Amino acid sequence: MRCIDAHLHIFEHLNGYAFLGEFRPLGNGKCRWAGGPADLICTPDMGDRGVSAESMIGFMDRNEIEMGVLLQGTAYGFHNEFVAESVQKYPDRFIGTAAIDPFFREFDTVLDRLMGELAFTRFKLEMSATGGLCGFHDENMLWNHKNLHKLMQRLNDIGGTLSFDIGMPGTVSHRVEDVRSFAEKYPDLNIIVCHLCSMPADAEETLRADLEVLTMPNIYFDVAALCSNTQEHAPFTWARRYHRIAKEMVGAKKLLWGTDSATVMKDYTYAELQSLVTEAGIYTDDELQDLFLNNAHTAYRF
């Protein structure tokens, strides 16, 4: 089946900064937070201290992924120039998104260059309280920051796209009412909520409540890392239940296939992740084609 992965990450070298301070690469795919815990950011075959465009393309070729949307996150560090260069070098394989912090003192200067010289029309804001901006900014100031609205107005004016990772329910970053208000205020802006609202296992009612709020013409959802958040392997009981709920409530045309690779490859194979939906009997053949291919074109406008 033809496939676009709408949630991939490359980074020239890990230089993240989030809830546990800086995120330093140790080599061989390993890393450590300043707060102490070590982690595996990717399998060694994907990268040593970063994941290159060429490494990701090799991964895409092995798994028959036609194109990938490159998202950024604070835990990886901002890599706007690297992403822009990768898209320019491989325009038939990558769609790029930019990252920015509304608290930048020279926000206007940065935004002008990202949308001007680097030609970004798509942005992603990692708002989560762990790997994202709410890990080191006051959540109320962040979600109401004038520069956040400035970004959305600029994107709205050009028909751009903005992705949000709002983190798991119960965390300070999980603010679905704010996302809805943005969608209402900026109707020409496509908004994508990553990870289908980042549900853990046994959160069916929370997902239903979130989707009821977020059912809007210009809001979409990627389904990346569902089974990472529910912490399960086949038969993916909770992740598949969440797919069924999402199809029922927002419709299959609002869902984008994505995986969060390369990070999730430390726990799953790509075939295993695809089987979560292809072997579940949730979607018709036409709906699978939308999920895996068509919806990314619509939501990210390419």
Is the pTM above the cut of 0.95? yes
pLDDT average, residue stretch 245-259? 98
Please report the pLDDT score of residue 36 as a whole number.
86
Average pLDDT value over all residues in the chain: 97
pLDDT average, residue stretch 9-35? 94
Please report the pLDDT score of residue 52 as a whole number.
97
CB 283 within 8 A of CB 277: yes
Please report the pLDDT score of residue 78 as a whole number.
97
Domains of the chain: 4-300 (3.20.20.140)
Angle at 98 between CA 158 and CA 189, to 5 degrees: 30
Q: What is the pLDDT of residues 32-76, one digit of tens each?
A: 999 988 889 999 999 999 999 999 999 999 999 999 999 999 999
Q: How far, in Å, CA of 75 to CA of 79, rounded? A: 11
DSSP structure class, residue 11: B
Angle at which helix 146-158 crosses helix 107-115, to 10 degrees, equals 20
How far from chain centre, in Å, is Cα 83? 14
Q: How far, in Å, CA of 133 to CA of 143, rounded? A: 10
Q: What is the pLDDT of residues 164-197, one digit of tens each?
A: 999 999 999 999 999 999 999 999 999 999 999 9
CB 195 within 8 A of CB 156: no
Q: Which of 16-30, 103-117, 205-219 has the lowest mean pLDDT?
A: 16-30
Query: Measuring CA to CA, which residue among 108, 111, 144 is closest to residue 127?
Result: 144
Q: Which of 27-36, 58-67, 107-116, 246-255 has the lowest mean pLDDT?
A: 27-36
**What confidence category does residue 1 fall into, taking pLDDT thresholds of 50, 70 and 90?**
confident
The neighbouring-strand residues paired with 88 are none
pLDDT average, residue stretch 9-33? 94
Instruction: For the beta carbon of residue 26, count every other beta carbon within 10 angstroms.
Output: 15
Q: How far, in Å, CA of 299 to CA of 216, rounded? A: 13
Q: How far, in Å, CA of 118 to CA of 81, rounded? A: 7
CB 203 within 8 A of CB 169: yes
Please report the pLDDT score of residue 94 as a whole number.
98
**What confidence category does residue 289 fall into, taking pLDDT thresholds of 50, 70 and 90?**
very high
Query: Measuring CA to CA, which residue among 167, 162, 140 is closest to residue 150?
Result: 162
Q: Which two three-digit tokens encode residue 68?
A: 């990938």
